[in-house]
Amino acid sequence: MSRVRTIPRGPSHTKHGGPPGSYFQIVKASRVPKKPIRWLWDRRIVRGKINSLAGAPGLGKTTILCDVIARLTNGVPLPGEPKDMPKRPVNCWYLTNEDDCDDTLVPLLENHGADMSRVLLTEEDALLNSQGVKKMEEVIRERKIELVVIDSLTSWIPEGTQTNDMSPMSAFLKPFRAMAKRTGSAVLFVRHWAKSATVTKKAQAAIGSVAQTGMIRCELGVFKEKGEMVLDRTKGNFAPPLGRLTYAIVGKSSDQPGKVKWLGEAAVPVTTSKIAACEDWLRPRLPGVPSDIEKAAKEAGFTGWHVRKAKEGLRVETERVGQKSFTWRLPEPERSDLRPEGLENHTRPQVTQLDAPPPA
């Protein structure tokens, strides 16, 4: 039996992709083999997908990446990984349109002790359209590249592309997503944060459209907090939680490129723990009248900002009651969280002929 069936597109689908008469490919979920998430940098850079490192200028994004590449090419554990974690040397490729290789990247890589024979560099203005991505894939396969860094995302986007528009950015990033999946290599874009970005909104702070954030499966952000430079994972919901890393750039001078020094894990910000405490306080008081909850929250030591952030975290919904009254309530459980009573220990029957027609 064929594992894949095709369904012809109707006329309404032709404007969204494919000529009239093209097909969708479908496969039964039971036929799809499960694959584990594979990490290049444990819980921070994922293989076979698009990653990102984002932050404001001057926080050492390039220096951090040169340290990461040095560790990868030498088979040395990365920050946050166990020191005895088995690693093997891998090949990396750094494409840049912002820094020169001879006076910036090479000195930085050497300063961090990278195995230079395992690093490919590109600083020419290559065209990264769908054909360019195909050529890139050929290099990745030929040279067995496991990390591709593209610095920065906006500098490699074809001229005229509207970076704040969902459709063209999605079209630009899709070939990279497909290439990463086919090769199993990690693709990492460097992104810049907007000047108006705040630490509390760092997941949405990078310059560009929602399409960029949507395509990126794991994003790291660098920022300053209370005088410390911090690297945090700002997106990666499929990954277990992990601590943030503090770092410093040391030994930098007019004739020395400097080096990243990892200082350890950062403490959880007070604002974050306060919001979590407010969520715990708010949850059992729902449903409830907004004005009563806000008054009680103030008496409990929470500000209006804490309540708003707790509402966002709990996805609290506002519901009209009567003509002028409102109530706050928790959302209904996700359908995937529901399980009928009596089926907790239910075992699915073994199905041997999934494509067989039902009995007459």
What does the pLDDT average to over 211-225? 82
Kindly report, residue by residue over 6-63, the tens digit of the pLDDT.
Answer: 555 545 444 444 555 556 788 889 998 988 899 999 999 999 999 999 988 889 999 9
What does the pLDDT average to over 131-146? 94
What does the pLDDT average to over 303-308? 88
As given in the structure block, the two tokens for residue 255 are 């004739």
Cα distances from 196 to residues 55, 193, 348, in angstroms, run 12, 8, 53
With 70 as the cut, is the pLDDT of residue 270 above it?
A: no
- Pairing assessment for the beta strands 91-96 and 119-122 based on DSSP bridges: parallel
For the ranges 19-33, 207-221, 249-263, the maximum mean pLDDT occurs at 249-263
Task: Report residue 184: phi and psi, to 5°.
Answer: 80, 5
DSSP one-letter string for 99-142: S-IIIIIHHHHHHTT--GGGEEEE-S----SHHHHHHHHHHHHH
As given in the structure block, the two tokens for residue 164 are 């704040």
As given in the structure block, the two tokens for residue 239 are 């990954």
3 state DSSP class of 47:
coil
Instruction: Give 144's contacts (C-beta < 8 A, 6+ positions apart).
Output: 91
User: The dihedral of CA 207, 213, 217, 222: what is its sign?
Assistant: positive
Mean pLDDT of the chain: 79
Q: pTM to 2 decimals?
A: 0.68
Using N-to-C axis directions, what is the helix angle for 304-314 and 270-282, rounded to 10°? 70
Task: Report residue 309: phi and psi, to 5°.
Answer: -65, -35
Under a CB-based contact definition with an 8 Å cutoff, are residues 242 and 233 in contact?
yes
For the ranges 49-58, 113-122, 159-168, 245-254, the maximum mean pLDDT occurs at 113-122
Burial 44-68 (b: 16+ CB within 10 A, else e): bbbbbbbbbbbbbeebbbbbbbbbb
pLDDT confidence tier of residue 351, bands split at 50, 70 and 90? very low
What does the pLDDT average to over 195-206? 49
DSSP β-bridge partners for residue 5:
26
Structural domains in the chain plus CATH codes: 1-34 (no CATH), 39-267 (3.40.50.300), 271-331 (1.10.10)
Under a CB-based contact definition with an 8 Å cutoff, are residues 201 and 227 in contact?
no
pLDDT confidence tier of residue 220, bands split at 50, 70 and 90? very high
Q: Terminal CA-to-CA distance of the chain, rounded, Å?
A: 20
Look at residue 163 in the predicted model and tell me its pLDDT. Answer: 61
Cα distances from 112 to residues 58, 74, 82, in angstroms, run 19, 11, 20
What does the pLDDT average to over 70-81? 96
Residue type, 124: E
195 vs 291, residue with greater confidence? 291
As given in the structure block, the two tokens for residue 337 are 């969280």
